[in-house]
Amino acid sequence: MKKNTILFLLFVWMLPLGVQAQKQVSKDVLDIRADTIVGLRNYRWSDEWAIGFYVGANAALGENVRPRDIPKVTRPSLAVAVSKYFYPTVGARIQGMYNWQAGKANKEAVDAGFLGKGTYRFHNAAMFLDVLFNIHNILFRFKEDRRFQLVAFFGVGGNYTFGFEKKLLDDNWQEWYPVSRDAHMYLALRAGLQANYQLTDKFDLTWDLAINATDDAYNGVRYDDFYDGYLTTALGVIYHFKDEYSDRRFKYTRFTDAEEMAELNRRINAARGDLNESLQPRVETQTEYAYHDMLRTTVSFIIDRYDIQANQRKNIAEVAKYIKNHDDINVVVCGFADVQTAYPEYNLKLSERRANAVYNVLVKEYGVDPSRVRIDYKGDTVQPYTEKNEWNRVVTFVTEPRYKTTKQGASTQK
């Protein structure tokens, strides 16, 4: 098969999967209607990583290899791969592979008594970058408890071939086609299927089957400008690393409806009063520091989220205005999480991210002097509001003196 034909078939075969995966990504990231309460968690670049180890076999498909010859040129393979999924439908991996390989001479050379049984040995080290398309999650909605998954992959990489047997250079070969024992690096493309079965939360049993297309000369023999290739199949084990939630796989979470969130914010702010009515910080001249007050305006969050909703930005804007209008105070931005969701270690991280998100908006978007803002976070160890558990998904603002006072009444900047 000519190289252009091979490349065309590979791209045509993978194109529908890529298009479908792109459609599915947006659906799986957040499938929320007006009354929908389930969607994927927020995941970072550091999440959903795994490493796999493979043992298998390969068969070179170069010149003179017919289907009946595949057993004669089959040799062992080893591989290791690091992978990451960006969504349940799409991921990527880097795989390194070492293949012991065998080529086959043409019938004329074998009949003339060269190469004995007609095969010669060489070695191949390969590295591929693959795009992974989870067929089950593309065709069907992602399920947390799905154990078997079929994955298609398409990759690009390089083959480094070396260690050719000396008999490959027998001068009599030159009657039929040029041969070379020189080591070379060649561009390679591949496509294949991967079947994964979840053994435990940590481990998958996996099986790969791939066809690899590379330069005609990779096996030491160049003939009529064809592309050569080889088949690989391998059995392996994949280990999944923990993510920021201390899980190892994608999980759904439950969200609060946007309209319910807006109504909840309205009721919270109404109960606490407007920022302009908040108490001014009281300075006690006989002590070193001022009395601390909590401002009545807060920033509320959707469950398990730390991104700031549009209807909460006006609250941050008011706090920024308040800080700028009161030169004698600084503000502590303190994050919280509700005690009825997740577990303490996770909630502590979540409250820290909420506090950092608000701090960044205050400083970067509203121009508050960073020296006047301090970050604190309590997780679920402190629940500032007892009326409703949901109210504790919040960032509060506590004033502290910008200046400290001495007993003589002199003030110095804090």
pLDDT of amino acid 17:
47
Q: What's the full length of the chain, in residues? A: 414
pLDDT of amino acid 40:
78
Reported pTM: 0.60
Q: Taking CA 188 as the corner, what is the angle to CA 185 and CA 189, rounded to the nearest 5 degrees?
A: 170
Please report the domains of the chain, with CATH numbers, ordered by start residue: 3-240 (2.40.160.20), 256-413 (3.30.1330.60)
pLDDT of amino acid 407:
46
Q: In the 3-class helix/strand/coil scheme, how is 365-402 assigned residue by residue?
A: HCCCCHHHEEEEECCCCCCCCCCCHHHHCEEEEEEEEC
* List of the chain residues with pLDDT < 70: 1-38, 107-117, 167-177, 224-225, 254-292, 404-414
Q: How many CA atoms lie within 13 A of 98 on its CB side?
A: 4
The C-alpha atoms of residue 297 and residue 310 are separated, in whole angstroms, by 15
pLDDT of amino acid 258:
52
